[in-house]
Chains A and B, each alone.
Chain A
């Protein structure tokens, strides 16, 4: 089955700086890669996603890049703000909406004011 590794497990950055979180996956059939933000005691919230036919996607301060050959994808947050502090999870799926998501181990991001 799919295995998703995520690094780093914790990340602290100064407010205004950029944060990068990286994930690798094992199943070459995976074609959907979402990123979720989870705040304490809440369910995951989708912040951005990418499909295998695209190499990069951007939404304001958030971007995701995908390298299918190397089987890795990354989350980039620019101009970080205190409200970006949360746990972030990457995930992978073989079939958008139809098959299960396999989650990475999570990254606790702390923005230092």
Chain B
């Protein structure tokens, strides 16, 4: 089945620095990428949806200048957390999809971000 590779799995960064998270679809071309954030013991909350070659659509309350999403190719999407603060510490998960593809939504393994 479809595989999405997400890196890094864990990252610790200092307040004020930026962190980039990558998601690659390994055996299919992802026309759409979804980025979620999950706080401890909570559900997955959609942050933004991106389609290859176009600007991401952000959910209400998500700062687009803080969470930069790039979906420049059909196999790679990145999420950059800029000027990270401790409250940005969370589990970030990507999900790739290709309309018509039987596997539907394929999730990455997640990135645990800790901002100190």
Contacts and interface: CB of A to CB of B under 8 A. Distances in A.
Interface of A: 32, 34, 36, 41-46, 49, 89, 95-98, 100-106
A1 to B, nearest CB: 9
Interface residues of B, number: 24
A98 B33 CA distance: 9
Contacts of A105: 42-43
Q: Which 3 A-B pairs have the closest CB atoms?
A: A43-B107, A97-B97, A98-B99
A97 B100 contact: yes
Nearest to B10: A41
Interface of B: 6, 32, 34, 42-46, 49, 91, 93, 95, 97-101, 104-105, 107-110, 112
A43 B108 contact: yes
Contacts of B98: 97
Main secondary structure of the interface of A (DSSP, over half): loop
Given A45-B107, A97-B97, A101-B105, A89 B43 contact: yes
Contacts of A45: 107
Nearest to A106: B43
10 contacts: A34-B105, A43-B110, A46-B104, A49-B104, A89-B43, A97-B32, A97-B99, A100-B46, A103-B43, A105-B42
Contacts of A104: 43
Contact of B44 (A42, A95, A96, A103): A103
Contacts of A106: 42-43
Given A41-B112, A95-B99, A106-B43, 5 more contacts: A43-B93, A44-B44, A96-B99, A97-B32, A100-B49
